[in-house]
Chains A and B, each alone.
Chain A
Amino acid sequence: MSFEEPASIEVVIRPRRGWLDADWAEVPRRRELALLLVRRDFLVRYAQTALGPAWSVLQPLLTAAVFVAVFHKAVRIPTDGLPPALFYLSGLLFWDYFSRSLLGVSTSLIDNAALFRKVYFPRVIVPLSLVASNLMAFLLQLAVFLLVYAGFLIAAPASAARPGPLLLALPLLLALTAALALGVGLWIAALTAKYRDLHQLTRFLVQLWMYATPLVFPVSAVPARWRPIFELNPMAAIIECSRRAFLGAGVVAPRALAASALAAAVLLASGLGVFAAAERTAVDTL
């Protein structure tokens, strides 16, 4: 390395100055580490499981089956005239990516405390690699959804479900979901480094958040006067928009989507800031 990098490389160590003072330049330089962490997450997740990556396929299918039994058959919540299985699977696609990433990022400081106590690298690489490695599970889940969808279209060609032009917006929706999960997750990670209580709360908060998101019910089932409050949930517009893209039904308010994008940007920027603040002394309190 000494001949690849000049020996004059200079590292200045001093207390943090200001809100966003962190070693950002080092992050892209360590992208190989990020990629290896992604690979590790993937290898370790399915180590010694008989079904391996099939779990990423089974999990949403089982959840959707439970939703069909409970929310469709028992509680009779409408599904915008769509086949309930497709309705739930489409919503779970983005929600699972969101909740999995958020929960992973939120414990990334605690989970890697032993490593962080031994060696320095920009800590933010761990949350970034988590969000990236969860993309693989997302893609598997997407494949499952598309297969089930194709099955439905063949079995019932008259079904109301039709993909729409919003499909083009899916990469944007995915980016928004990643930014939101990362933003909120980084906030919680930074705060749990100091206040361990939050760790216990996070799962509950995510569960609560799920029921405030149109996952088991359509936005059209929300009374009009509650809509403005409902739209404060940045995940609501993303889920409803993705459902509209895949299945052609759902209420998509451009205003709500713009608010989601704004929330994602603010949460991500501030999350990076508080995480940068926490990471520099996190090993002292973890």
Chain B
Amino acid sequence: MLPAIRAEGLSKRYRVGTPGSATLREAFSRWRRGEPDPRELWALRDVSFSIAPGETLGIIGGNGSGKSTLLKILSRITEPTAGCAVLRGRIASLLEVGAGFHPELTGRQNVHLNGAILGMTRAEVARKFDAIVAFSGVEGFIDTPVKRYSSGMHLRLAFSVAAHLESEILAVDEALAVGDAAFHRRCLDKMDELRSAGRTILYVSHDLETVSRLCARTLWLERGGVRDIGPTAEIVPAYLAVLLPLGGAPT
């Protein structure tokens, strides 16, 4: 069977030392002195792996190991500097919750806009609209501008749209997930549901217990490269063995 995701030599270089953006003057003076660009940082270096359809792959590693960068590349938010990846099917991520929500628009208008941003067709949103609203529990306020929502209502409605997107591949970056414990619980429940429905899932997390429970295989990233990939039962103990003697997360 063809893999759901095949990554070959994915690499990503970021420019650091010029946070935000460069200015014309800096670029000009560098160019005049013939200097190369300032310090460069490889956030991801030569990462290769493949995932079978329906598989749940855990991705672990310390801060700055490249986990989020990898997800960003796979969800096409930024492009790799080198290497390539082939995805079969749509990819959605639970970190896109509320992308493009506009405070001045009503809940109803935002559901339609957000659905379109996430890649749903108009017919798809129309078909699922009632289910989305019911799941979010904000029925009474669906025609109220979102800026009048409490942050909890806002989050529930946004999550409800994302949860109803039927994509073949789901990316979950738990480090970036915001929300309370109940919301966290919902994310995990949704993942369980999608997993049993045969979706391919990429699960980035620091929560090794959940990784062990959900993922048969795990990818261990370290300083942008693949440290190891294999059965979770082998990778997690090896990761812990490196982690614990140092008494903290490796950098």
Residues of A at under 8 Å CB distance from B?
A: 1-2, 4-5, 7-16, 30, 32-33, 36-37, 39-40, 43-44, 47-48, 115-121, 193-198, 280-281, 283-286
Interface-centre pick from B27, B100, B118 (highest chain A CB count, 10 A): B100
What residues of chain B lie closer than 8 Å to A12, measured between beta carbons?
84-87
B residues 104-132 touching A (CB-CB < 8 Å): 104-105, 109, 112-113, 116-122, 124
The contact of B75 among A39, A40, A119, A194, by CB within 8 Å, is A119
What residues of chain B lie closer than 8 Å to A14, measured between beta carbons?
79-80, 83-85
The contact of B122 among A32, A119, A120, by CB within 8 Å, is A32
Other than A15-B80, A119-B99, A195-B21, give 13 A-B pairs with Cβ distance below 8 A. A1-B90, A13-B76, A15-B79, A30-B119, A32-B121, A33-B116, A36-B112, A40-B102, A44-B104, A117-B77, A119-B77, A197-B25, A285-B20
What residues of chain A lie closer than 8 Å to B81, measured between beta carbons?
15
Please, which residue of chain B has its CB at the minimum distance from the CB of A198?
Answer: B24
Say whether B190 faces chain A, with CB atoms less than 8 Å apart. Answer: no
Q: How many of chain B's residues touch chain A, expressed as a range?
A: 35 or more
B76/A120 in contact, CB under 8 A: yes
The contact of B109 among A43, A118, A285, by CB within 8 Å, is A43
B21/A285 in contact, CB under 8 A: yes
Q: Can you list 8 A-B pairs with a CB-CB distance of less than 8 A?
A: A1-B120, A7-B89, A10-B86, A12-B87, A14-B83, A15-B79, A32-B116, A120-B77
Closest chain A CB from B10 CB (angstroms)? 8
Say whether B73 faces chain A, with CB atoms less than 8 Å apart. Answer: yes
Closest chain B CB from A26 CB (angstroms)? 10
Query: How would you classify the secondary structure of chain A's contact residues: helix, strand, loop or mixed?
Result: loop
The contact of A197 among B23, B77, B87, B118, by CB within 8 Å, is B23
A7/B96 in contact, CB under 8 A: no
What residues of chain A lie closer than 8 Å to B96, measured between beta carbons?
118-119
Please, which residue of chain A has its CB at the minimum distance from the CB of B84?
Answer: A14
Task: Map CB proximity to A onto B12-38 as digits: 1 under 8 Å, 0 otherwise.
Answer: 001100001111110100000000000
What residues of chain B lie closer than 8 Å to A32, measured between beta carbons?
116, 121-122
Closest chain A CB from B64 CB (angstroms)? 16
Given A44-B104, A196-B23, verify A13-B89 contact (CB < 8 Å): no
A36/B116 in contact, CB under 8 A: yes
Given A40-B105, A40-B109, A281-B78, verify A194-B22 contact (CB < 8 Å): yes
A121/B74 in contact, CB under 8 A: no
Closest chain B CB from A126 CB (angstroms)? 10
Closest chain B CB from A200 CB (angstroms)? 11
What residues of chain B lie closer than 8 Å to A5, measured between beta carbons?
90
B77/A118 in contact, CB under 8 A: yes
A7 to B168, CA, bound (A): 7
B90/A9 in contact, CB under 8 A: yes
B117/A115 in contact, CB under 8 A: yes
Given A115-B117, A284-B14, verify A9-B75 contact (CB < 8 Å): no
B residues 30-73 touching A (CB-CB < 8 Å): 72-73
Say whether B188 faces chain A, with CB atoms less than 8 Å apart. Answer: no
Closest chain A CB from B22 CB (angstroms)? 6
What residues of chain B lie closer than 8 Å to A15, measured between beta carbons?
79-83
Closest chain B CB from A158 CB (angstroms)? 49
Closest 8 CB pairs of A and B: A120-B76, A14-B84, A47-B104, A118-B99, A33-B116, A11-B87, A280-B79, A13-B85
Given A1-B166, A280-B79, verify A195-B23 contact (CB < 8 Å): yes
What residues of chain B lie closer than 8 Å to A196, measured between beta carbons?
20-21, 23
Closest chain A CB from B145 CB (angstroms)? 8
A1/B124 in contact, CB under 8 A: yes
Please, which residue of chain B has its CB at the minimum distance from the CB of A5?
Answer: B90
Say whether B138 faces chain A, with CB atoms less than 8 Å apart. Answer: no
Task: Map CB proximity to A onto B144-157 as digits: 1 under 8 Å, 0 otherwise.
Answer: 01000000000000
Say whether B95 faces chain A, with CB atoms less than 8 Å apart. Answer: yes
Please, which residue of chain A has its CB at the minimum distance from the CB of B87?
Answer: A11
B residues 157-192 touching A (CB-CB < 8 Å): 166-168
The contact of B78 among A2, A8, A33, A284, by CB within 8 Å, is A284
